[in-house]
Structure 1
Amino acid sequence: MLGVIAALAGSAVASNAEPLWVTYPGLEEKKPVFLHFRREVILDSLAASYPVELSADNRFILYVNGKRVAEGPSRGDLAHWRYEQLDLRPYLHKGKNVVAAEVWNSFTGETPPRAPLAQVSARTGFWLRGDGAASVFETGASWRVSRDRSRTFESPWPHLNTVLGGTYYVAGSSEIVDAAQADWNWNALEETHAEWVNAVAALAPGEAAPWALQSDKLPPMRYTPVSPGEVVRTNLASGTAFPKSSVTIAAHASATLLIDQAKMVSAYPEFVVSGGKGAKITVTYSEALYDKNKKKGDRNAIGDRLVLGVEDTFLPDGAHRVSFRPLWWRTWRYMQLHVETGDQPLTLEGLSLHETGYPFDERGFFKSDDAALNQIWEIGWRTLQINAHETFMDSSYWEQLQYVGDTRIDNYIVYTVAGDPRLPIQAIDAFGHSQGKDGMIQSAYPSSGDNIIPPFGLLWLGMMRDYAQYHPDTDVLKRNLAGARKILDWYAPYVASNGLVGITPKWNYIDWAGEAQQPGNPTHEDRFPSFDAAMKTSCIISLSYLGALNDMAVVEMAAGDPALAAADRQKADAIKNAIHDQCWDADKGLYADSPDRTVFSQHANALAVLYDVAPKDKAAGILRKVTKGHGVDAPEGIIEASYYFSWYIVKAFDHADLDDEYLVLVETWRDLLTLNYTTWPESRGDTRSDTHAWSSHPTADLIGIVAGIRPGALGYSSAVIEPHLGTLKSVDAATPTPHGLVSVSYRLSGQKMLATISVPEGLPARFIWKGRTYPLETGTNQLELLTP
């Protein structure tokens, strides 16, 4: 027997030493590698539990007796490297057991990156620690390892640039799997491959581990079987039978099968094939189909449209029922299989999918008599789920990066629908972990790259304020207070003599609007956001700084120092006055983007209203001048906000007591329904990404504004329910709170409205209807009210 076997009588066995980080002998650093680890153990009896902790650099998938049981570690940085925890007991039996792991690392440090940019690495290794009876499984010299050379990792970015033109992709590798080089029995009861060797220590004697291990506070990601979709286009006579039935491609032939998932999915695909030695299977994953000009359109349209996107390649070796799967999940709506056979026919036996993502519990909901609004709500929630994993992701297809601006909106949706704070807490902490010695945070984190967007540092403070509004536990705020204060300290030297914020180092990004400032380039005075020629100061950046001062004052009151809150408010008053004095254009009745007063945007005016720079009696007029009365579109001459920044327009309307106009603003999303999106896109027009959760804020606002359920005080210590129903006649909605679920049901008929409201115990609540306030009691409340 090639494996090392240990006997264990089922009782606790103390570990003689700390478990080792282990690896394959002689590995070169920063070279892509795919390893198999295994440990064989004979158990004469079973203990009550076998708790283990395990991690890897970069990734692992753990199997016990051939069953997939865990994956990880959740993404972090070297100073906060996660380990997963589980009990092996349900998967063990008396007799011989095999605990095995796939471990891979595609990190090279090269450009374009093969590993996800969101992934950090020190060196390839695997680590497992067991408590009590599980100590027999700890990593050390008793583990075996082999190097599987069947997988090649390549960056899809060059290919995507070729087929789509200039684009940006950093979400990880395409995989090429050569079955002839694979060990398909690597986790079987016995070793069968000649390359198994004893694992060796990943660290030299006395060398400090580069990974500072900490337990993963997140639950395991979903791994849920879902339908594999249907073939909607093929040149294979029997092709439409797949994947419900097997299909065969003859020798020396080619076949293409286009499978429509019907909606966007993030999942692990797995193909089973037989025969086909010398064949090549190319799998292309695409969010949407493209016309001959490489433009998207109706997402349901098929015809002769093109499948362009990330590809995996599988090379069969002729064996029977071989399973091909990428190690990492993919995101797609349309999947194309293109098969070219050699001397042998190839049979596609089947396709299975396991959907993945953060396991949110959908507690909140919104349903009305307007089917389009219900669809808008559902699409937004699905978009959030597609982009929520071990971190939030801007786009699960293109980047998989957790950006501050995106994540603030993600958190808001999660608070409103799921109420689970764990992923938002992860995000707040991650940005704090990214803080540099100068006090500024990374715009996206975790990341092996460097991308500083100072205005995103300001939004991090807004993210903390949002958390304080929805959750009573302030621990995450307290541990990030010092870092949050450093953001304001970082900005302080850039406040110019005119009282406004000037050009700062790094990327002065606010939104993809107008001719936006670009990453990696110096700030241009005439790009968005613009700066005046004389002082090089910006009204929009100053407004962002003002908002952060306001937000930080709230955070200080919730978890910090009231004296510092007062100081922040005093600074806010000063910059508020400077913005009004130098950015208000009386002739236009609008706030300009810079003191030159030549450029005007939705952004500057929405923020001026939101942060009370605009007098209350002017707020409504300002907002109506920068919108067209249909959706969030801007009139001619006004720089238009993206779907992302339109959230701040909505917040401004809300702040100006114009919530009754929300259903007009959401017309933009109603218009998008005509293109049959199943998740919301990144940008207007010819969008790169079809799944961007920063466009999903209507999912939260339909509950918060239309159904009207929101926190009434910090920590959700009270609730206020003030619906804005427009022409709706029926609305049912709910949202989770720290005290339990608040639900509402509204029915309008003639001049009457019947409101049924359920309030959990311990949550003071009040209902507001057309300016009048009604106190609510614990339990079910029924109000019959007159409509205007």
Structure 2
Amino acid sequence: MKRFLIQAAGLFCAVLHSGLISSQNITPAILQKYWSASWITVPGAPPNGYGVYLFRKTIELASQPATFVVHVSADNRYKLFVNEKLVSLGPVRGDLQHWHYETLDLAPYLKSGKNSIAAQVWNEAEWRPEAQISLQTAFIVQGATEALNVINTNSSWKCQRDSSYTPLRVAIPGYYVTGPGELVQLAKQAKNWQSLDFPDGDWKSAKTIFSGNPKNIQGQYGTPYGWMLIPSTLPQMEFKAERFAKVAKVQGIEIPAGFPNTKVDLNIPANTIATILLDQGYLTNAYPALQFSGGKDGSISLQYAEALFSKSPNKGNRNEVEGKQMIGRKDSLFADGSSNQTFTTLNFRTYRYVQLRIITKGETLTLHDISGNFTGYPFQLNSSLNTENTEIQKMLEIGWRTARLCAVETYMDCPYYEQLQYIGDARIQALVSLYNSGDERLLRQALDQMDQSRQPEGVTLSRHPSYTPQYIPTFSLWYIGMLHDYSRYGKDIVFVKNKLSGMRQILDYFRGFQAADGSLHDVPYWMFTDWVTAKDWVAGRGPLSKDGSSAMLDLQLLWAYQLAADLETKLGIKESAGIYQARALQLKKTIQSKYWDASKGLYADRMEKDLFSQHTNSLAILTGMLAPEQLAPLGKKLISDTNLAPASIYFKYYLHQALVKAGMGNDYLKWLDKWRENIQMGLSTWAETSELNTSRSDCHAWGSSPNIEFFRTLLGIESDGLNFSKVKIQPHLGEIKKISGSIPHPNGALAVSYEWVQNKWNIQVDLPGKTTGNLMWKGKILPLKSGVNKFVL
């Protein structure tokens, strides 16, 4: 493990760039036939109990190979080492019908002669994260060709249970489902077990379970079983070394200069209790890494938190530590007294603050280093925004950090508490990815996984993968919105076409709960809209009429019909488009007659017309319920009417789009007070809810919508056709006199600049090849061609 600490950051960079093989290059035999490799486990190990297991095999090669491609997976998780170097973590989470394997080229890590292949595999059993689906403890490696079958998992592999690990229960208020802490007794660990010369003669021969079988297996009576294997389409996760910024508080010991920002020895004398509160300076996802010597029978614990608590659930300013307490996930280890002991966690931890507590017995413990290794999906920031407005830059920075921490092998609502991929969150996260990076792979996987979660009755699950199914039917409607977004901004229209049947099934599901007038009634499960504390809002579901109907639910369904009709029309499927257009027209008439209050100039939340919200009226604008002359008055009421139930930081994504459609886009920067409050409260990421003092999660990417709107609303860059083939540029600059920026586009980079000079605007729009569009400027429509377009207006 010492080598892991020293080499991991550079190694993962190598894996990211040279080790991963495209799933398109996998041979047909791997994709369609039973593998010659078997799933293996440790003999006598409980199939579904908690445990950490070690597997190893020595292979001999006549020379260093030019390529050595393998396919690797495990249940629950694995770390794969080649000649002591960590080369892969996985697998990407999925479900049993879609179990991922990574495809890697091990050649850069192999040599002539003997080579050590080793894997650490663990099953957290009943402690496992909610996002982790499982069958039983198992591991598999398959050579890509018959010539590479020497590496295949079978009984020739040696194995042993690592008895040093015990799960630590987590006591955190609220919904926490991301796994246990670890209690590790280093004296029980096998030293250097990944090395070539490790004596494994007394290790057991691995027990085979059954052959690996791909999901799309051909023949064999159509009865695949167990893990139905599919290739991962994702790259390896990023892995980057991080240092803690400072010591925020210390008790029981003197801290040497430079600690912890630089590597310096910290001696904890015998019979001492030392408590050190470390501040990363910002929230991060990282594998903590410790290196220390001595301290036999002493203990070290690491406790992790996004923020400290004055008294749960109150957090206050996240920069403040005095008078506050640590509540969070914890790892503990017992030292064995040897030199250069090391520790890192099985899975990453999310933290800004880490409380390090060291208790020594009769021997001094020397802490050589403590640091972290950041991990996350390897998004590259390919957008830019140039402005003298430092607040915009700060918000972009925080939004991008938030989006990155909520994206690892899937999109996640939050990295600390849940790590679950919800559709409502992912729709916003997807556009953040496209506008800021252009990398579509995680987005397409999310759409695949949501489609795969669809139940026999037609509705998708609210989140997937998830060990416990959860139904939020409104999120199925947002799935249609997310698919429509991808059709406009993404590259692959064939991918979209293959999802249309699932979209139709979702709408058929809702059809079963529509009355004769089209209004929804008594839809089961959790009809969540937003986290709102207002009259008759129940657990995020808006007010219902006496007959069980709801304006905001009817409007969400209307929007889904409209988007489905638009997709079907643009893809040339006129019959289906006509069906959805007719349903939308009927529902639109019902909404108008049932919920419009002419005296107030507002749409009510329910037919009794006693409650009103920003949500219902935002959706009314976005679905085209109003005539053009009605938009501005309603938009102004959305801002000024304090009787409306307010949108949270999440639903402001839709509120702001409605205000822009109402002609108020020049005021966009005036609508960001909630984000300003986050900054003032010391957050380095956007909180889950608008009540910042008590917000459970300090990192929810659904709050990163400014990372879309600074480009879409402020700079005015928007798609105006399938695959972003046509562009609409309609800026809303407000008081800004000079600004420029660019975003990634399927055909290249797309850049704009605006500058007010001598009472005229100098405007330049640079479109990538094969792309046209229009500049919308004060009622004028000015055509744009590929290349450089310049205007003086």
TM-score, normalising length: structure 2: 0.91
| Partner of residue 90, structure 2 | 72
| Partner of residue 730, structure 1 | 738
Query: Out of 663, 675, 682, which is 1:676 matched to?
Result: 682
- For the residue of structure 2 that corresponds to 1:596, the secondary structure is coil
Whether 1:665 aligns to 2:665 is no
Say if 2:530 and 2:540, in contact at 8 Å, map to a contact too: no
Tell me the distance in 2 between the aligned counterparts of 1:382 and 1:474. 30
The one-letter code of the counterpart of 2:141 is: L
| Partner of residue 580, structure 1 | 592
Whether 1:613 aligns to 2:625 is yes
| Partner of residue 642, structure 2 | 636
| Partner of residue 19, structure 2 | none
Tell me the distance in 1 between the aligned counterparts of 2:230 and 2:35. 19
RMSD over aligned Cα atoms: 2.1
CA drift at 1:778 = 3.0
| Partner of residue 139, structure 2 | 126
Query: Out of 229, 254, 258, which is 1:237 matched to?
Result: 254
CA drift at 1:229 = 3.0
Tell me the distance in 1 between the aligned counterparts of 2:604 and 2:536. 17
Tell me the distance in 2 between the aligned counterparts of 1:146 and 1:210. 23
* Bigger shift: residues 323-332 or 21-30: 21-30
Query: Out of 521, 531, 555, which is 2:544 matched to?
Result: 531
Query: Out of 137, 158, 162, which is 1:144 matched to?
Result: 158
- Map residues 481-520 of structure 1 onto 2, 5 A cutoff: 481-514=500-533
CA drift at 1:517 = 8.7
Q: Deviations over 1:199-250 (max 9, x none)?
A: 0112499995411111101111111222333222212212564232110111
The one-letter code of the counterpart of 2:607 is: P
- Per the alignment, do residues 204 and 136 of structure 1 end up closer, same or farther by CA in structure 2, a change over 3 Å counting? closer
Whether 1:551 aligns to 2:563 is yes
| Partner of residue 592, structure 1 | 604
Unaligned 5+ segments in structure 2 are 1-28, 213-219
Tell me the distance in 2 between the aligned counterparts of 1:640 and 1:256. 43
How many aligned positions are there? 747
Say if 1:739 and 1:760, in contact at 8 Å, map to a contact too: yes
- For the residue of structure 1 that corresponds to 2:325, the secondary structure is coil
CA drift at 1:637 = 2.3
- For the residue of structure 1 that corresponds to 2:367, the secondary structure is strand
CA drift at 1:765 = 2.7
CA drift at 1:303 = 2.8
The one-letter code of the counterpart of 2:227 is: W
- For the residue of structure 2 that corresponds to 1:70, the secondary structure is strand
CA drift at 1:306 = 2.2
Tell me the distance in 2 between the aligned counterparts of 1:171 and 1:347. 32
Tell me the distance in 1 between the aligned counterparts of 2:520 and 2:144. 55
Say if 2:770 and 2:786, in contact at 8 Å, map to a contact too: yes
Tell me the distance in 1 between the aligned counterparts of 2:690 and 2:381. 28
| Partner of residue 9, structure 2 | none
- Per the alignment, do residues 31 and 529 of structure 1 end up closer, same or farther by CA in structure 2, a change over 3 Å counting? same
- For the residue of structure 1 that corresponds to 2:626, the secondary structure is coil
Tell me the distance in 2 between the aligned counterparts of 1:203 and 1:710. 51
| Partner of residue 191, structure 1 | 198
- Per the alignment, do residues 366 and 542 of structure 1 end up closer, same or farther by CA in structure 2, a change over 3 Å counting? same
- Per the alignment, do residues 558 and 190 of structure 1 end up closer, same or farther by CA in structure 2, a change over 3 Å counting? farther
Say if 1:228 and 1:261, in contact at 8 Å, map to a contact too: yes
The one-letter code of the counterpart of 1:137 is: I
CA drift at 1:555 = 2.3
CA drift at 1:23 = 0.6
Tell me the distance in 1 between the aligned counterparts of 2:370 and 2:451. 42
Say if 1:515 and 1:527, in contact at 8 Å, map to a contact too: no
Tell me the distance in 2 between the aligned counterparts of 1:375 and 1:192. 54
* Bigger shift: residues 762-771 or 336-345: 762-771
Q: Deviations over 1:345-382 (max 9, x none)?
A: 21111023221111112111223121111111111111
| Partner of residue 521, structure 1 | none
Whether 1:302 aligns to 2:321 is yes
CA drift at 1:730 = 2.2
CA drift at 1:300 = 1.9
Whether 1:355 aligns to 2:374 is yes
Tell me the distance in 2 between the aligned counterparts of 1:560 and 1:486. 19
Unaligned 5+ segments in structure 1 are 1-13, 109-113, 162-166, 519-523, 629-634
The one-letter code of the counterpart of 1:230 is: K
| Partner of residue 7, structure 2 | none
Say if 1:517 and 1:527, in contact at 8 Å, map to a contact too: no
| Partner of residue 299, structure 2 | 280
Q: Deviations over 1:630-660 (max 9, x none)?
A: xxxxx43221111111111011122223221
The one-letter code of the counterpart of 2:433 is: V
The one-letter code of the counterpart of 1:44 is: A
Query: Out of 66, 80, 84, which is 1:62 matched to?
Result: 80
Query: Out of 231, 234, 237, which is 1:218 matched to?
Result: 234
- Per the alignment, do residues 268 and 181 of structure 1 end up closer, same or farther by CA in structure 2, a change over 3 Å counting? same
Query: Out of 655, 660, 664, which is 2:661 matched to?
Result: 655
Say if 2:283 and 2:306, in contact at 8 Å, map to a contact too: yes
The one-letter code of the counterpart of 1:573 is: L
The one-letter code of the counterpart of 1:225 is: A
CA drift at 1:615 = 2.7
| Partner of residue 768, structure 1 | 776
| Partner of residue 788, structure 2 | 780
- For the residue of structure 2 that corresponds to 1:661, the secondary structure is helix
Whether 1:115 aligns to 2:134 is no
Say if 2:39 and 2:211, in contact at 8 Å, map to a contact too: no
Q: Deviations over 1:557-594 (max 9, x none)?
A: 34462211121011001101101101011222111111
Tell me the distance in 2 between the aligned counterparts of 1:713 and 1:674. 40
CA drift at 1:707 = 0.8
Tell me the distance in 1 between the aligned counterparts of 2:775 and 2:389. 23
CA drift at 1:307 = 2.4
CA drift at 1:714 = 2.0
Query: Out of 674, 688, 699, which is 1:691 matched to?
Result: 699
* Bigger shift: residues 386-395 or 244-253: 244-253
Tell me the distance in 1 between the aligned counterparts of 2:210 and 2:144. 23
- For the residue of structure 1 that corresponds to 2:54, the secondary structure is strand
| Partner of residue 89, structure 1 | 107
* Bigger shift: residues 504-513 or 753-762: 753-762
The one-letter code of the counterpart of 2:791 is: L
Tell me the distance in 2 between the aligned counterparts of 1:704 and 1:527. 28
Q: Deviations over 1:609-648 (max 9, x none)?
A: 11012332222222221223xxxxxx43221111111111
Q: Deviations over 1:279-331 (max 9, x none)?
A: 22111111112224652222222334322211111211111111111110011
Say if 2:534 and 2:645, in contact at 8 Å, map to a contact too: no
CA drift at 1:755 = 2.0
Say if 2:80 and 2:87, in contact at 8 Å, map to a contact too: yes
- Per the alignment, do residues 676 and 749 of structure 1 end up closer, same or farther by CA in structure 2, a change over 3 Å counting? farther
- Per the alignment, do residues 41 and 729 of structure 1 end up closer, same or farther by CA in structure 2, a change over 3 Å counting? same
Query: Out of 695, 698, 707, which is 2:715 matched to?
Result: 707
| Partner of residue 176, structure 1 | 183
TM-score, normalising length: structure 1: 0.91
Say if 1:405 and 1:459, in contact at 8 Å, map to a contact too: yes
The one-letter code of the counterpart of 1:743 is: A
- For the residue of structure 1 that corresponds to 2:580, the secondary structure is helix
| Partner of residue 339, structure 1 | 358
Whether 1:740 aligns to 2:754 is no
| Partner of residue 10, structure 1 | none
- For the residue of structure 1 that corresponds to 2:663, the secondary structure is coil
- Per the alignment, do residues 482 and 180 of structure 1 end up closer, same or farther by CA in structure 2, a change over 3 Å counting? same
The one-letter code of the counterpart of 2:667 is: E
Query: Out of 25, 31, 50, which is 1:32 matched to?
Result: 50
Say if 2:128 and 2:180, in contact at 8 Å, map to a contact too: yes
CA drift at 1:432 = 0.8
CA drift at 1:193 = 6.0
